[in-house]
C-alpha cells in the first residue's frame, strides 16, 4: 500500500502535474508548521488554546446555521399564514 502511494506521487511528478516536495511521508509528518500565519502575521494558538479556538469557531458556525434555519422557518410560517388568511378571505367573500 505504501508503495502505491509513492508510485502515484512519482507518476504525478513524472507527468509534471505536481512539483516534487518532501518525498517521504515520515519527513512530511515531522515538518513543523509555523506558529505564525505568514498571510496574516498573527500568532496562531497552540495546545489547549488551539482546541478552544476550534471549538469556538465550530460553535459560532453552528449557531449561524441554526439562526439561518430559524429565519427561513419563520419566513415560511409567515408566507403560509398570509396564504391561509387570503384563502379564508376569498372563501368568506364568495
Tell me phi and psi for residue 17, to 5 degrees.
-95, -10
Average pLDDT in the 72-88 region? 96
Q: What is the pLDDT of residue 1?
A: 47
* pLDDT tens profile 4-39: 555 555 555 555 555 555 555 665 566 566 555 556
CA dist list (Å): 94 to 7, 40, 84, 86 = 77, 67, 15, 12
24, 33 contact by CB (below 8 A): no
Rg (CA), the chain: 28
Cβ proximity of 68 and 60 under 8 Å: no
CA angle 9, 12, 13 (to 5 degrees): 90
Q: What is the pLDDT of residue 68?
A: 94
The residue ranking higher by pLDDT, 15 or 71, is 71
> Which cell numbers hold the place of 18?
505536481
Amino acid at each position: 500500500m505504501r508503495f502505491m502511494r509513492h508510485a502515484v506521487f512519482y507518476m504525478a511528478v513524472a507527468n509534471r502535474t505536481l512539483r516534487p516536495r518532501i518525498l517521504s511521508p515520515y519527513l512530511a509528518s515531522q515538518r513543523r508548521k509555523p506558529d505564525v500565519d505568514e498571510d496574516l502575521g498573527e500568532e496562531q494558538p497552540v495546545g489547549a488554546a488551539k482546541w478552544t479556538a476550534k471549538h469556538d469557531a465550530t460553535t459560532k458556525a453552528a449557531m449561524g446555521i441554526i439562526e439561518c434555519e430559524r429565519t427561513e422557518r419563520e419566513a415560511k410560517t409567515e408566507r403560509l399564514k398570509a396564504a391561509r388568511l387570503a384563502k379564508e378571505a376569498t372563501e368568506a367573500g364568495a
